[in-house]
Each structure stands twice: as C-alpha cells, then as structure tokens.
Structure 1
Amino acid sequence: MKIKSLLAKPFASYIYKQIQKGMATAIQDQDAILKMLIKTGRNTQFGKDSGLDKVTNYEEYKQAVPIRDYEQIRPYIDQIKEGKHNILWKGKPLYFAKTSGTTSGTKYIPITKDSVDNHFSTARNAALCYVAETGNTRFFDGKLIFLSGSPVLERVADIPTGRLSGIANHQIPAYLRSNQLPSYETNCIEDWETKLNKIVDETINKDMTLISGIPPWIQMYFDELMRRSGKKIGDLFPNFSVMMQGGVNFEPYKARLFESIGRKVDCVELYPASEGFFAFQDTLKAEGLLLNTNDGIFFEFVPAGEIFNQNPTRLSLRDVKVGENYALIVNSNAGLWGYNIGDTIRFVSTNPYRIVVTGRIKHFISAFGEHVIGEEVEQAMKHAADEENVRVTEFTVAPFVSSDAGKSYHEWFIEFEQEPANMQAFIQKLDDNLRQKNVYYDDLIAGNILEPLKITRIRKNGFIDYMKSIGKLGGQNKVPRLSNDRKIAEELQEWKREGS
C-alpha cells in the first residue's frame, strides 16, 4: 500500500465523523450561518441598500431580501466588474465563475475568499466518506481524471474568470497533482473534440482508477477509448473502481455507462454549481445527496408551484417535508442573497437532510396546463427502457401544438443506442409511465385533448453534432431535458434519422 492510500484511511475516518456530527446539528448550523451572513452583509453595499442593519431574524430577512434572479443581482455584479469593493460581500471576489444563461447571456457568479472552500472541499469530503464506508483507498495510488473545462482564466476587473470546472483545476491539492490527468496543456484545449482525442492519447495506456465528470461527457470519453482499444473500459483499466459524477440526473445515462464499463464500479454523485457546492453522496447505502448545511450557505425552499408568484412561500430547513418539490434558493458567503439558482429538489429524508435534484424551473412542459418536469420524463424513460430492453444515448421533449384539426402532443426526440424491438409497445409504455407520474397529463390524454406522445428518432451522434453546432459541446454544457417551446425541436430537425 502506497503512502497516499495509507494516510487516506485515518483522514477519511476523521472527516466522516465530523460530517456525521453535522447531520444532527443541521438546523442550528443553518441558523448560525444566517446570523453570520446578516452580520457581514450589513457592511456591504447590498446590505445597506437592503437595510440588513435592521434585520435580526429569518422573518425580517424575508421582508428585507426578496427572491431574485441574475438580472436583479446584475447591477451589483456590474459594480464589482468596475473595480468596486464591498459590494455583495466584503472585499472583492477571488474568482468569477462564468456561466451561460438562457435569458441573461453570460453570467458572472462571484467566488470569494470565504466561499472558495465550499467549492473545493466538498468533493474531497465525498471521496473521503466513500473511503470511510468502503475501505477502498486503492484509487489514490492510480491515475485520476477530472473531465473539465479549460483552466485558462481571463481577467475581469483584475478578477480571474472562467468556467467553474476550469477554476477547480487551480484548487486541486498538491498531493493529487502527480496523479491527475490530463496534462495541463491538454486541459487548456478549448475545442472539445480535439481535447477529447488528446485526453484519450494521454490516458489509454495509464492505470486509471478514478474517473470524474458530467455523465454524457464521460460517455463520450468511454466511446473513444473503446473505439481505439476494442476493449470495455473495465478491461482497459482493470483497477478502475470509482466514478464520481454530477451536473445532470445520472439515471438516464447509467445503463449505457455500465454497459461500456462491463463490470461494477462504485458511483459517487455530486451536486456542484457555480453558485455553490450544495450536496454530495455521503453513503452508497441510502437514496439521495446529503445537503451541505454547515458550509457558508443558508438554504431556502419555495414550493415549486409558487416560484413565479409575486409573494411565494419561503421555508427554511426546519419546515421542509419529504416528497415535496421545492425551488432551491441560496444565500451565501459568496455574496448571493435570496438567489434563485433555477433548480428544483425533493427531500427523500429529513434525518439526515438528503435530497434528489428533480429538474430545472425553466425546463418543463406546460403548453396545455400539465406542468411536466424533468424528473417525471426521466423516470418514465428509465422504466420504459428497462421494460423493453432499450438503451438511450440522449433525449429531449417538446410540445407540438397543432394549428389544424389534428390534436396536439408531446414530441420526444430520442437517440437510441439500442432501439425497441416493438416501437409501438415502447411508445405505449413510455406514455403510460408519464401518465402515472403526472395526473394533469393523464387527464389531458384521458379527456382526448392530447394525443399520446410521438417519437422522432435522432441519428447516431446527432445530439453531439447539435451541441457542436450551437457552440456548447463539452465542458459543463448539457442538453435541456424539456422545453416549453419548439426552439430546440426545430433546431434538431437537421439531425433526424431517415424515416422519422
């Protein structure tokens, strides 16, 4: 056993015990974080504008600080970009995490001296919880790959600025640098296809033991490795034992990833975002991700159906319920206040507080009043694919609103790796599954207002080519699972299979 794996066990045991202690004090920790945020925020420009000096508790905080999106926080970001200090948080940010917004263009999310540890210690803690539970430390002795964006950072108001995954490359601890792949030069390549080929060049003959990234981009890496080697990933990398993944729901990609590996490996799921590292899988034995309740973020939860109301209900952690769908609101030591990150989550446990991510607020279909969300279509697809022995590479769903005598319907754009033996039976099961998940959709079908869903097949690598065509191939980008309009649907017409 090498020194890294030898030292990992006692450190993992220590961190795991600290995390378990934190499970019991989550409510108190959240209360303390809110007090700390208010105390520090009073001396910022935002705090003065919001009257934080008069705020002493959560009820007063909700009155002083309304829920906001990026457009409403942008004027403060613009002041920081002009070089001003003490705007959203004390001093100025260490970094700007640069991310694409659907309505706001490029967003600049601050990462401060106080918040930076949240981003980069949480992934470490997830790995150490895994070690403490399983005893597996061997992966520390092999090569580790983090499929990420370029670490090359530009400067905005003299603040290093780039993709979160690229910023993360600068925070990897020194003791892992010798294990890390790909090389810095390869990681700096912007074009994803060129970069992917170089990553495969550098790793195909190495002892890869941990692979981490967003599932669709891990799959692309696996596909190229298999094409070149003619081997399953588990045979190519016999010591590969841990896959860490996040950024999208794992379930739609799980079957194909494991088929590519050819054997079992342990999976550790993460919930990172530019706005903070919100949750991580602390155990392989229970559903959901442990909410990060003691790391500089005060969480709020709005019932998902109220998020667009003028005065929605806002709940702190003490008032949440298992099974409810909530929009996630964050207040943090990065200088985010009442910030709607756009995700919806559901608690699967409150002892401890574990969540699953159920979708994006803006990614839904309600063209006919059904309000179908990402979790529902993903579960419907998973069950239908399992029942019909189907493998799906990627899919997205959009409404088709009929302008003539024909009925409207949901159109599913699907790239199959293995098609159904009976397409009509697959469509029927997919539609039935969605009807069971969403009572409003069921009513529309039963009432003969909507036709059952229709499938448009996308050719092999069609989604990759589509993402490339819009300049979003690789990095942290992913295909939206749902749209409430036809924009993506119309763009995908170019990549339809013949006969679809």
Structure 2
Amino acid sequence: MKSTLLKPYAHYVRRKVRKAAERAVLSQEEIMLDLVRTARDTAFGRDHDFAGIRTYEDFKARVPIVDYEAFRPYADRIRDGESNISWVGKPKYFAKTSGTTSGVKFIPLTRQSIPNHFGTARNALFSYISETGKSKWLDGKMIFLSGSPEMSDTNGILTGRLSGIVNHQVPAWLRTNQLPSYETNCIEDWETKLERIVDETINADMRLISGIPPWVQMYYERLLARSGKDTILELFPNLEMFVYGGVNFEPYRKSLEALVGGRIPSVETYPASEGFIAFQDSQTEEGLLLNSDSGIFFEFVPAGEIFDERPTRLSLGQVETGVNYAILLNTNAGLWGYNIGDTVEFVSLNPFRLKVTGRIKHFISAFGEHVIGKEVEDAMRIAVAKHGVEVTEFTVAPQVTPPEGGLPYHEWFVEYASPPADPTAFAADLDEALIKQNIYYKDLITGGILRPLVVRPTAPGAFRDYMKSQGKLGGQNKVPRLSNDRKIADKLGLA
C-alpha cells in the first residue's frame, strides 16, 4: 500500500527538486541574505557587522574562513547555555563528532536546519522512485546501520551522534518498516550490536539496506555465515535498494556485489553533521545534486589555496567544472565560513552536480607531490579492473626512510578479498595510473627522487582491527585513504 500511495508524492518531490535546481544560483543569493538578516543580532552577527552586509563581497570581507578550532569560542558559549550566539535562540541538538585535531566537536542543529537532514534523504529516495517507478522497498523492512540514538543533555540541548539524531526524525508511517529495534540500535559495542542486528533481520523481508560500505560488508558476511546461504539475494530475495554515503563506493563494489549475488540499485548521499550537502537525484547522470535550496549558503575555495592567508572565495555562480574545491558552509544552524575539510569537483553546472574528491587533511605531500584521495582511488579502480582483483580496504602512506635502504616511496597497504595473480604487474599498473593523474608525482618518479610505489598486503581483518583499536568500529567511521604520516600504516598487521 505504501509503495502505491506514495508514488504521486514522489513525483511531486522530484518536480520540486528539479525546479529548485534550475534556480540554484538565485536561491543561493537569497539564502545568503536571509541567513545574514536572521542572525544579524546574534553575538556572531554583531561581531562581524552583519548589518553592513548587502552583497557577497561584503560577506567575504566580514566573515572569515574557520575550522572548528576557530569556531570553538562560539561553540563553547552555546554549550554553556547562552542564547543568540551564532544563530537565534538555542540549538535543538548538538551532533557530537570526533575530530582528528579538535577532539570532540559539538555541531549545532536547530529547528530550522533539521529539515535539511531528513528532508534531503527523503528527496533522494523519492527522486529514485519517481525516475525508476520502483517503490516496492517501501512495503518491506529497511535497515539503517547507524550510531546509537541515545541522547545526553548539554545544558538543556540534546546531544548525540548525527545518525542517532536523524533516527528520531523518522516519521511514524516509516517506523513500522525500520530495523533494528531501538534497544539494539542503542548498543555501543559494534560487534555485539552487529550480532543483535543479524538476529533481528536474518528472517525479515529486507528490501532497503543503508550504511557505510565497509560496515555493510561486515553485516553481509555475518548474515551469510549465520544463514549458510551463498548470497544475500538468496536470503533477501526482495532486496531492492542500497543507500550509502561517506566514502567512494567503487573500491568496495566488487566485494559487495559478490556477497549480494548481483548488482542492486543504489542511491548515494553526501551528508555531514554540519549539513546535508548533496544527493544522487538520477540513476543516469553523473554526480550528486548540490542541495542548493535547503538553508545552506555554499562557498568554494580552490583546494590549493585553502590554507593561504587570503584564498579565493567563490559563490556557486562562479564555480567551474574540473576544479578541485574545498567546500565552505554557512548554515541556518549558525555555522559561518565553516571549512568542513572536504574537497569536491563539479561535473555539471546545469544542474550543479558534484563528486566528493577527498579530504583537505588527507593527502601525501612528503616530497611536494600533493597526492589526494581522488587520485589514489582512481588509480586503484583502474588497476583492480585490469587485474580482476577484489580489494576489501586500503590506505597509502609515505615511506621517507625505508628500513631496507634506497629511495623513498609511497607505501600502499591493501587488504585483498581476491589478490592479484601477478603482484608485481599489479603494483606497476597502480603506479602508472597514479603517474598519469599527478604531474608532480610523475616528476619525482622520473627524476629519481622517489622509487615506484610498493604494495604491502595486509593480514585479513587488519583494517577492522585497527579501527577497533581506535574505538571507531562501525557506525559512520571511515578509514582514511591516505595520510601524510605513518600513524595508521605502522599499526596495520601485514600478511
């Protein structure tokens, strides 16, 4: 019944999404002025002369680019219970996240910003229904592998993980379809929680599965081990949809599809605690549609300039395709000029569609090469396709002073589900694919500064063991694809 009744509404949602996409630049200008006008009398608004902002040039002159550390003085005042600090009133929630440099971060969510999070997820799924006509997943069970929905209290502000907060926003008509149970979802230990999730879903009519690919893979493996089935589709013959976000799916695709027993239609999303940025609105077009009409004013900085004293700041109407940008958010939750640390590249300007290319802090430039996440993922994708390899997980680190002597190199730590028949040829093709993407890396190789990359096979489960040791097993946690140090590399068990 739900699948039939909701189809007309899905068509309405998709039409609304498309109309918003057509006026994205105008919407962004309106949102900027509306945000400034609303927050003019807050502490942040007074400190930054919001009353004097009339244009984007005015805005850039008054609002600095910040990370959480720079925003912390305002965040701490909000946490202390003060009102009207960076947004009117007090937040309804704090999304609590762990940062690599800032410790625990408290990201405000307000009554005005909450619809951005749940409404965008709805828009993504209903766009899929409208485009494909497939909606039977609404009539069965669905699971969202997420963090605990339990909340704590911070001076009257409910505090928890974003995925848990969003769990509280699921409408009543959908809750009857949702798994796992609230009690199971509240279990903190991931492996214990996973066993309970398997208990609750193994005999259910699962039709939609959502989560970060490596943890979904772990869920699938436990299901198959427990059930004795060969594929997930044998266990869940009505499985119709996979929803994911947070990481590039391609490195996991082959392994996941082998577990599933085929390709399942998927919808990619780009959520963050600071705001739901983009979502896949089409099964045929490349990229994710920028969420241009949802209370967020976006800015973009060429990635190479983000740490400059005066970087170039661009509004949506000024971006180009094929350029790697750091993305800044200004939101109706009270974030201003906020650098979330992600980089994106536009693949279309009509409408504005983008792809996530990596993290500002996740790169290797030990020798001036500045290799980024997109480049190592593309290189791996090319080599995997050529050699028929299945990769479970990987990360890359610099080896500046090789213990065996000789030239330094990039060290790739790879956990295989199916290793290459010729490891030497695989490493050579991986190196060649990276050389073709990064001119600086090429110069270092051809100039004899670096030797070609080295691939180290890791022990089975090495990455899961590492994440567990860091208290980051499951939920929304992700293994960095690369780093400019060896903090991860030196803790991975080799085969």
Query: Taking structure 1 as the reference length, what is the TM-score of the superposition?
Result: 0.98
- Distance of 2:250 and 2:438 partners within structure 1: 19
- Distance of 2:375 and 2:489 partners within structure 1: 19
- Distance of 2:429 and 2:475 partners within structure 1: 34
Equivalent in the alignment of 1:171? 169
Identical counterparts, % of pairs: 60
- Distance of 1:31 and 1:7 partners within structure 2: 36
**Residue identity matched to 1:281:** Q
Q: Does 1:317 align with 2:341?
A: no
Q: Does 1:473 align with 2:473?
A: yes
Equivalent in the alignment of 1:343? 342
Query: Offset of 1:230 from its aligned partner?
Result: 2.4
- Distance of 2:436 and 2:259 partners within structure 1: 31
SS at match of 2:148: coil
Query: Offset of 1:403 from its aligned partner?
Result: 6.8
**Residue identity matched to 1:195:** K
- Distance of 2:369 and 2:69 partners within structure 1: 28
Q: Does 1:202 align with 2:200?
A: yes
CA-to-partner distance for each residue in 1:122-173, whole Å, 9 max, x for gaps?
0011000000001011000000100000000111111111110111110111
Q: Aligned residues, how many?
A: 493
Equivalent in the alignment of 1:272? 271
Q: 2:158 aligns with which of 157, 160, 169?
A: 160
Q: 2:141 aligns with which of 143, 148, 152?
A: 143
Moved more, 17-26 or 396-405: 396-405
Equivalent in the alignment of 1:222? 220
Equivalent in the alignment of 2:37? 39
**How is 1:44-83 mapped onto 2 (pairs within 5 angstroms)?**
44-83=42-81
Equivalent in the alignment of 2:240? 241
Moved more, 134-143 or 255-264: 255-264
CA contact (8 A) 1:80 1:157 kept: no
Any runs of at least 4 consecutive aligned residues in structure 1 with deviations exceeding 6 A, and if so which? Answer: none
- Distance of 1:375 and 1:234 partners within structure 2: 31
Query: Offset of 1:423 from its aligned partner?
Result: 0.4
Equivalent in the alignment of 1:358? 357
Query: Offset of 1:264 from its aligned partner?
Result: 2.3
**Residue identity matched to 1:65:** V
Any stretches of 5+ residues in structure 1 without a counterpart? Answer: none
Query: Taking structure 2 as the reference length, what is the TM-score of the superposition?
Result: 0.99
**Residue identity matched to 2:298:** F
SS at match of 1:432: helix
Query: Offset of 1:70 from its aligned partner?
Result: 0.3
**How is 1:278-317 mapped onto 2 (pairs within 5 angstroms)?**
278-317=277-316
**Residue identity matched to 2:94:** F
Moved more, 250-259 or 329-338: 250-259
SS at match of 1:402: coil
TM-aligned CA distance change 1:403 to 1:185, over 3 Å: closer
Query: Offset of 1:436 from its aligned partner?
Result: 0.7
CA contact (8 A) 1:211 1:244 kept: yes
Cα RMSD, aligned residues only: 0.9
- Distance of 2:472 and 2:250 partners within structure 1: 22
Query: Offset of 1:256 from its aligned partner?
Result: 1.1
Moved more, 106-115 or 483-492: 483-492
Equivalent in the alignment of 2:412? 412
Equivalent in the alignment of 1:190? 188
- Distance of 2:319 and 2:81 partners within structure 1: 40
CA-to-partner distance for each residue in 1:3-44, whole Å, 9 max, x for gaps?
x11111100010011111111100110000001011011110
Equivalent in the alignment of 1:455? 455
- Distance of 1:183 and 1:172 partners within structure 2: 13
- Distance of 1:173 and 1:224 partners within structure 2: 29
CA contact (8 A) 1:33 1:296 kept: yes
**Residue identity matched to 1:398:** A
SS at match of 2:337: strand
SS at match of 1:21: helix
SS at match of 1:379: helix
